[in-house]
Chain A
Amino acid sequence: MIMDLLSKALTIILVGMGVVFAFIMLMITAIHLNAWILKTLGKDQEQPK
């Protein structure tokens, strides 16, 4: 019973951390891409009012 729960918990850690890191890595990539596109378009200097 415990071993079964432990193996499931290990799976949750691996999958969970994998998904969280994947999301954050994609978010970082998207932020960089967004900044690059805005810089290319010359829209990166607009400051909040």
Chain B
Amino acid sequence: MKKNKPLIMLITLVGLILIGCLGYFSARANPLASAKDQEKPAGREKQITDESDPRQASPRSVVQTAPEAGSMPAGARPIGRAQKAREERDKANLRDFSFAKFLKSILKTTGVYAFLNDKQTALSASGKPVTIHGWQSLIMVMVGLVLLWLGVAKNFEPLLLIPIGFGTLLVNVPIANMGGISNGVPGFLKIVYEAGVGNELFPLIIFMGIGALTDFGPLIANPKLSLLGAAAQIGVFGTVIGAVLMNLIPGFSYTLREACAISIIGGADGPTSIYIAANLAPHLLGPIAVAAYSYMALVPLIQPPIMRALTTPSERRIRMKQSRPVGKTEKILFPIIIVMLCILLIPAAAPLIGTLAFGNFIREIGIVDRLVRTLQNELLNIASILLSLGVGAQMTPEKFMQPSTLGIIVLGLVAFSLGSAGGILLAKLMNKFSREPINPLIGSAGVSAVPMAARVSHKMGQEADPGNYLIMRAMAPNVSGVIGTAIAAGVMIALFK
């Protein structure tokens, strides 16, 4: 089963691409924002939109019918008016009550009826109104089930894909409106989203946990290897151009903010991708998160061909020197150093670097074991569950079944490949000038994906020379990739502040 993992993930990605294609062609063939649709809402039609401020964008906000301008006296409470209307409606319902009507209304509130007949006008990721049919929600329910299957049966990133899959399933349940607001009451997924995804709290808590789990020893022992983590960020920044060029294809129109949010997938760092997406393009959060985690799971499939193409067999056989031992004081001071540098150079990255450093600092000082254990386990797990559910809450048809999803999947792969290639090429260059040999295979570990990318470097090294142990050497660019991606994220945030 393990051998088939990348293949199954690939098949899933192809499925996602097909869904994106479906959205692309349906958007091209039928720009559903027709005036007719907007003027004549159907019987069960609801208006769904995002708030104008993208930072406040909710998973799926059902706009309540606003009172007519001038009809409400100043200071009147709209809730009272709504309550009165509801009471009048209830009275009318009781007057008109009959068995046939009751049965009909029950039938109309079933999921089957909603999937077959529901029609909603919603704002797409690009802000254009689109008509969402019930069958599209049903497809999203299927996507949720596929994500669950991948997590449960195939063991792909189960800690994330299971809650994302369930979130996707629940947010697309008709009538329940768990991702929106019904009668002024926010649904459970909307509460989760607004509690920590939309305001970027959960990714930061996860960063604390990552800090508490990470040993920066290999990086401190051989600091020059951290340059490979910096080089891999070419995947992040290079993809911004790719996203802009994609605008030449009809149907795609990424803004610079969206391009930056998509390109961070190249960093192969899930929480950072979610953090940046929530910050710069919240309407693209679902596809970006799913693409980021999918490509992280696909590291063993994507990276080896790039590594083989860019290195010679003799380069792959290079053995690196044993690293020096790192003292406790050095490890304790390292998080302080990176926080100070962050404060001085790019404070916009401080939330990510600061939380990472905090988690690592309390790990290394070794006197607050209870806090470290909480960060490594309970807090990290709680944040992961809520973050993934919140991401799943973004997987609605108006946001996912769009041409932009297709672009995100393609650009994510470009970003990932560019990042891997950037690290390898710099490692080759460094090998030419360095006194100590550097195996270029460890360059691809510069994309974050800790520790999978380092494992792939090690495995490739062992294929060329079974006695070559690269894992600890590859961990240096791997953890520096986490720092590099956080800095890249900070640059992007600073850009749009």
Q: Contact residues of A with B, CB < 8 Å?
A: 1-2, 5-6, 8-10, 12-13, 15-17, 19-28, 30-32, 34-35, 38, 43-49
B247 & A16 in contact (Cβ 8 Å cutoff): no
Asked whether any CB of chain A lies closer than 8 Å to the CB of B327, the reply is yes
Q: What are the residues of chain B within 8 A of A28 when measuring CB–CB?
A: 223-224, 226-227
Q: What are the residues of chain B within 8 A of A38 when measuring CB–CB?
A: 327, 329-330
Q: What are the residues of chain B within 8 A of A48 when measuring CB–CB?
A: 328, 331, 364, 366
Interface bin, chain B:
35 or more
**A contact face: mostly helix, strand, loop, or mixed:** helix
Instruction: Flag B335-357 by CB within 8 Å of A: 1 or 0 each.
Output: 00110011001100000000000
Q: Which residues of chain B in 209-248 are interfacial with respect to chain A, using CB atoms and an 8 Å cutoff?
A: 219-220, 223-224, 226-227, 229-230, 233-234, 236-238, 240-241, 243-245, 247-248
The segment from B296-304, B436-444, B482-490 found at the interface with A is B482-490
Complex CA gap A33/B491 in Å reads 26
Other A-B pairs, 17, CB within 8 Å; known A24-B484, A32-B223: A5-B244, A5-B247, A12-B256, A13-B240, A17-B230, A17-B233, A19-B345, A19-B491, A20-B488, A23-B345, A24-B229, A27-B483, A31-B219, A31-B220, A35-B330, A46-B328, A47-B327
A46 & B334 in contact (Cβ 8 Å cutoff): no
Q: What are the residues of chain A within 8 A of B250 when measuring CB–CB?
A: none
Q: What are the residues of chain B within 8 A of A25 when measuring CB–CB?
A: 227
| A–B complex contacts, Cβ < 8 Å, 19 sampled | A5-B256, A5-B259, A6-B244, A6-B245, A13-B234, A16-B491, A17-B233, A20-B488, A23-B342, A24-B480, A24-B487, A25-B227, A26-B341, A27-B341, A27-B483, A31-B219, A31-B330, A46-B328, A48-B366
A24 & B226 in contact (Cβ 8 Å cutoff): yes
- In the complex where A15-B491, A20-B488 touch, is A43 in contact with B244 (Cβ < 8 A)? no
Complex CA gap A34/B330 in Å reads 7
- In the complex where A9-B244, A20-B487, A34-B330 touch, is A47 in contact with B325 (Cβ < 8 A)? yes
